[in-house]
C-alpha cells in the first residue's frame, strides 16, 4: 500500500531511505497526472510556486470535471488535499516538487496594488513592508474578532472565507474546468460556536449547505482508515499523535458484525517528556496496543519529526506497517467529501461525539411495498441537514417512529399522537414531518397537517415532539 505521507517507516533508517517513495518533481509528470498538455501547465516563479493563471478558476455546479476537497485547519496552518471521482487523494504543496504541505493561514492586503496575497507570500510581502498581513485566521474567527485593513473593517471570518476560497482554487489550479462537488473542513475539535462560524464562512464562499461539511480529527481518521479496507475486510489500525508536547493514541476498531459495520475509536493519553522520548515511547507502545492485532500504525504531529525514534521504532515495526507524516487528516476529509457525494450505502459507520447514535425511521407503504423510510441516519453528525418527508395516513391518528441502533436487531417504537386531527375519510390526511436534531441523542419533530390541496384543505395544525435516542 502506498504511504499517505511519502515515506514508509521500515525497521532501520537505511531501509527507510532505500524504500522511500519517489517524488517526481517534473512539470511533465504533473501534467501527465492531470491529463493536461505540458504547455498548458501554469509557469512557476523563482520560488517554485505555480503562477495562478486567471483562466484556471474553479466553478461550482455540474459542469466540468468533479473535484473533492478536504481542508485541515490546525492552529496557524492549513493543509489541502483533493481528489477526482476515480482517483486517490493528493495533498497540495504551495511549492513545486516539495512535500511541504503546511500553508500559513495568512492574508495580506498589498499597499500599492490593493490586491491580496495568501499564505507564505502574504508573510513575505508584509515582512518587506509592502502590505498589511493578518495571521491565525481560524482561531481568531472563532473568537469573533474584527480588524481594520486599509479603509475597511473586516471580520476575521470574512478573511478566513477569502483564504479558504483561495485554497479551494489551489487544489484545482491545474485544471481549466473543474466543478467543486464537495468540500469538507476538518478541525481538531468542533463545538456549536465553531460550526456556526464555519457556516457563515461557507455562506461567504457562496457554497450551499449540501456542498460543504465539517468534521473533527477523529472523523477524519475514520474516513481515512475505512478507505484502506480492501474487499470489505477491515483490520484494526492505530494512530499516535505527538503534538504540543502531548502524546495520544487512537485505535480505530471494529465491533461485532453488523451491516453496515460499526467502527469506534478507543483513545488513550500519556504524559511525555522529550528528554527521554525514545525510552518512554517504547514503554507506551505495548501499553497502548496490548494484545490487540493492529496491522497499521500512523504517526502524525510535529513531535515525531526530529529523528529521535530508534528502539521504539524497531518495536513499533514488528509485524506492522508504520507511516509517518502530517496530511492524514486532510486526506481523511477528502475521503469524507467523496462519501458525502456517494449514493451507495456505506460499508462502515462511525459513532463518536457528534454523530447520531441511532436510526430513526418510519414504516411506510411505497409503491405497494412495505419498507422503512429513514429520517435520521446513525453516524451522521447531528448538525448536518436531515431530511423530512410527507406521509398520507391510512386510517390512523398516530405515527410510529422506529428507533434502532446500527449494531442492534431490536427497535424501540415511539408513537406520536396527533391530538385533535380533523376527522376525514381514509387516506385524505397528509402530514409533513420536519426533523431537527438538537444533539447527538435528541431529535425535535414538527408534524404539520398540510391536507391534499383544494380537495382536502389542511388545517395547518402543528404537533411538536422530542425523541430521545
Q: What is the pLDDT of residues 347-380, one digit of tens each?
A: 899 999 999 999 999 999 888 889 999 999 999 9
For position 428, which CATH number holds? 2.60.34
Q: Report, as an integer, the average pLDDT of 162-170.
A: 92
Percent of the chain with pLDDT over 70: 84
* Same domain (yes/no): 364, 299: no
pLDDT confidence of residue 172? 66
Beta bridge partners of residue 444, listed in sequence order = 436, 466
Look at residues 195, 218, 241 and tell me which one is the last residue of a structural domain: 218
Look at residues 169, 195, 218 and tell me which one is the last residue of a structural domain: 218
* Same domain (yes/no): 372, 451: yes
Q: Report, as an integer, the average pLDDT of 130-141.
A: 96
Q: Is residue 46 part of a domain?
A: no
All three cell numbers of 181, joined, read: 462537488
pLDDT in tens, 379-400: 999 998 888 899 999 888 999 9
Q: Report, as an integer, the average pLDDT of 299-308.
A: 90
Number of domains in the chain: 3
Q: Is residue 6 part of a domain?
A: no
Q: Is residue 19 part of a domain?
A: no
**Of 20-29, 165-174, 255-264, 452-461, which has the strongest mean pLDDT?**
452-461
For position 170, which CATH number holds? 3.30.420.40
Q: Write the secondary structure of the chain as one string of H (helix), E (strand) and C (coil).
A: CCCCCCCEECCCHHHHHHCCCCCCCCHHHHHHHHCCCHHHCCCECCCCCECCCHHHCEEECCCCEEEEEEEEEECCEEEEEEEECCCCCEECCCCCCCCCCCEECEEEEECCCCCEEEHHHHHHHHHCCCEEEEECHHHHHHCCCEEEECCEEEEHHHHHHHHHHHHHHHHCCCCCCEEEEEEEEEECCCCHHHHHHHHHHHHHCCCCCCCEEEEEHHHHHHHHHHHCCECCECCCEEEEEEECCEEEEEEEEECCCCCCEEEEEEEEEECCCHHHHHHHHHHHHHHHHCCCCCCEEEEECHHHCCCCCCHHHHHHCCCCEEEEECCHHHHHHHHHHHHHHCCCCCCEEECCCCECCCEEEEEEEECCEEEEEEEECCCCECCCCCCCEEEECCCCCEEEEEEECCCCCCCEEEEEECCCCCCCCCCCCEEEEEEEEEECCEEEEEEEECEECCCEECCCCEEEEEEEC
Q: Report, as an integer, the average pLDDT of 436-465.
A: 94
* Same domain (yes/no): 338, 370: no
Q: Report, as an integer, the average pLDDT of 47-64.
A: 38
Alpha-carbon torsion (167, 170, 175, 176), positive or negative: positive
pLDDT surpasses 90 at 462 = yes
pLDDT confidence of residue 157? 97
* Same domain (yes/no): 229, 252: yes
Tell me which residue of 375, 348, 328 sits closest to 469, measured CA to CA: 375
Q: Report helix angle 328-341 to 217-227, nearest 10.
A: 70
* Same domain (yes/no): 334, 230: yes
pLDDT surpasses 50 at 43 = no
pLDDT confidence of residue 177? 62
* Same domain (yes/no): 68, 186: yes
pLDDT in tens, 183-198: 999 999 999 999 999 9
pLDDT surpasses 70 at 47 = no
Q: Is residue 12 part of a domain?
A: no
pLDDT confidence of residue 244? 78
pLDDT confidence of residue 269? 94
How sure is the predictor about 46, in pLDDT bands with cuts at 50, 70 and 90?
Answer: very low
* Same domain (yes/no): 304, 258: yes
pLDDT surpasses 80 at 5 = no
pLDDT in tens, 88-99: 999 998 777 777
Q: Is residue 35 part of a domain?
A: no
Name the more confident of 171 and 241.
241
Tell me which residue of 414, 411, 415, 467 sits closest to 442, measured CA to CA: 467
Contacts 24+ apart (CB under 8 A), 89-94: 89/330, 89/331, 89/334, 89/335, 91/327, 91/330, 91/331, 92/167, 92/170, 92/171, 94/49, 94/119, 94/120, 94/170
* Same domain (yes/no): 317, 237: yes
Look at residues 325, 350, 375 and tell me which one is the last residue of a structural domain: 350
pLDDT confidence of residue 324? 92
φ and ψ at residue 304, rounded to 5 degrees: -90, 0
How sure is the predictor about 152, in pLDDT bands with cuts at 50, 70 and 90?
Answer: very high
pLDDT surpasses 90 at 153 = yes
Q: Which residues of 44-68 are buried (b: 16+ CB within 10 A; e: fewer)?
A: eeeeebbeeeeebebebeeebebbb
pLDDT confidence of residue 193? 93
* Same domain (yes/no): 261, 376: no
Q: Is residue 94 part of a domain?
A: yes
* Same domain (yes/no): 188, 265: no
* Same domain (yes/no): 60, 209: yes
Cα atoms in the 13 Å half-sphere on the side-chain side of 154: 23
Q: Is residue 380 part of a domain?
A: yes
How sure is the predictor about 38, in pLDDT bands with cuts at 50, 70 and 90?
Answer: very low
How sure is the predictor about 175, in pLDDT bands with cuts at 50, 70 and 90?
Answer: low
* Same domain (yes/no): 324, 397: no
Q: For the chain, what is the mean pLDDT?
A: 84
Please, which residues have CB within 8 angstroms of residue 146's CB and are 6 or more apart in sequence? 153, 154, 155, 156
pLDDT surpasses 60 at 41 = no
- What range does the domain containing 133 cover? 54-218
- According to DSSP, the β-strands at 116-118 and 106-110 are antiparallel
Q: Is residue 18 part of a domain?
A: no
Amino acid at each position: 500500500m502506498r504511504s499517505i505521507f511519502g515515506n514508509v517507516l521500515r525497521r532501520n533508517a537505511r531501509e527507510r531511505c532505500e524504500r522511500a517513495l519517489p517524488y517526481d518533481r517534473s512539470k511533465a509528470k504533473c501534467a501527465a497526472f492531470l491529463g493536461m498538455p505540458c504547455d498548458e501547465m501554469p509557469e512557476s516563479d523563482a520560488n517554485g510556486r505555480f503562477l495562478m493563471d486567471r483562466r484556471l478558476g474553479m466553478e461550482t455546479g455540474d459542469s466540468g470535471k468533479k473535484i473533492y476537497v478536504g481542508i485541515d485547519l490546525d492552529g496557524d496552518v492549513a493543509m489541502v488535499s483533493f481528489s477526482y471521482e476515480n482517483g486517490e487523494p493528493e495533498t497540495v504543496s504551495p511549492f513545486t516538487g516539495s512535500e511541504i504541505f503546511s500553508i500559513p493561514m495568512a492574508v495580506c492586503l498589498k499597499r500599492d496594488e490593493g490586491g491580496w496575497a495568501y499564505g507564505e507570500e502574504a508573510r513575505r510581502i508584509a515582512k518587506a513592508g509592502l502590505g498589511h498581513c493578518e495571521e491565525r485566521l481560524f482561531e481568531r474567527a472563532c473568537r469573533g474578532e474584527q480588524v481594520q485593513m486599509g479603509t475597511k473593517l473586516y471580520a476575521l471570518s470574512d478573511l478566513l472565507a477569502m483564504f479558504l476560497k483561495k485554497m479551494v482554487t489551489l487544489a484545482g489550479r491545474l485544471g481549466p474546468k473543474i466543478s467543486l462537488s464537495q468540500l469538507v473542513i476538518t478541525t481538531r475539535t468542533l463545538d456549536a460556536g465553531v460550526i456556526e462560524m464555519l457556516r457563515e464562512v461557507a455562506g461567504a464562499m457562496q457554497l450551499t449547505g449540501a456542498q460543504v461539511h465539517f468534521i473533527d480529527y477523529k472523523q477524519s481518521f475514520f474516513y481515512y482508515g475505512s478507505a484502506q479496507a480492501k474487499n470489505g475486510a477491515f483490520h484494526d489500525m492505530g494512530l499516535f499523535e505527538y503534538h504540543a508536547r502531548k502524546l495520544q493514541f487512537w485505535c480505530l476498531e471494529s465491533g461485532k458484525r453488523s451491516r453496515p459495520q460499526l467502527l469506534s475509536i478507543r483513545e488513550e493519553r500519556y504524559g511525555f517528556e522529550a528528554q527521554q522520548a525514545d525510552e518512554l515511547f517504547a514503554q507506551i507502545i505495548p501499553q497502548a496496543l496490548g494484545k490487540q492485532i493492529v496491522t497499521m500504525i500512523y504517526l502524525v504531529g510535529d513531535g515525531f519529526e526530529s529523528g529521535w525514534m530508534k528502539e521504539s521504532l524497531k518495536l513499533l515495526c514488528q509485524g506492522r506497517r508504520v507511516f509517518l507524516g502530517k496530511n492524514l487528516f486532510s486526506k481523511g476529509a477528502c475521503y469524507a467529501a467523496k462519501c458525502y457525494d456517494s449514493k451507495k450505502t456505506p460499508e462502515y459507520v462511525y459513532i463518536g461525539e457528534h454523530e447520531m447514535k441511532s436510526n430513526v425511521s418510519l414504516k411506510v407503504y411505497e409503491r405497494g411495498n412495505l419498507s422503512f423510510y429513514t429520517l435520521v441516519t446513525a453516524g451522521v453528525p447531528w448538525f448536518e441537514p436531515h431530511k423530512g418527508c410527507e406521509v398520507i395516513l391510512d386510517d390512523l391518528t398516530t405515527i410510529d417512529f422506529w428507533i434502532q441502533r446500527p449494531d442492534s436487531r431490536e427497535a424501540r417504537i415511539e408513537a406520536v399522537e396527533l391530538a385533535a386531527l380533523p376527522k376525514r375519510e381514509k387516506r385524505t390526511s397528509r402530514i409533513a414531518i420536519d426533523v431537527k436534531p438538537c444533539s447527538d441523542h435528541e431529535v425535535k419533530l414538527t408534524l404539520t397537517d398540510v391536507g391534499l390541496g383544494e380537495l382536502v384543505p389542511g388545517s395547518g395544525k402543528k404537533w411538536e415532539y422530542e425523541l430521545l435516542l
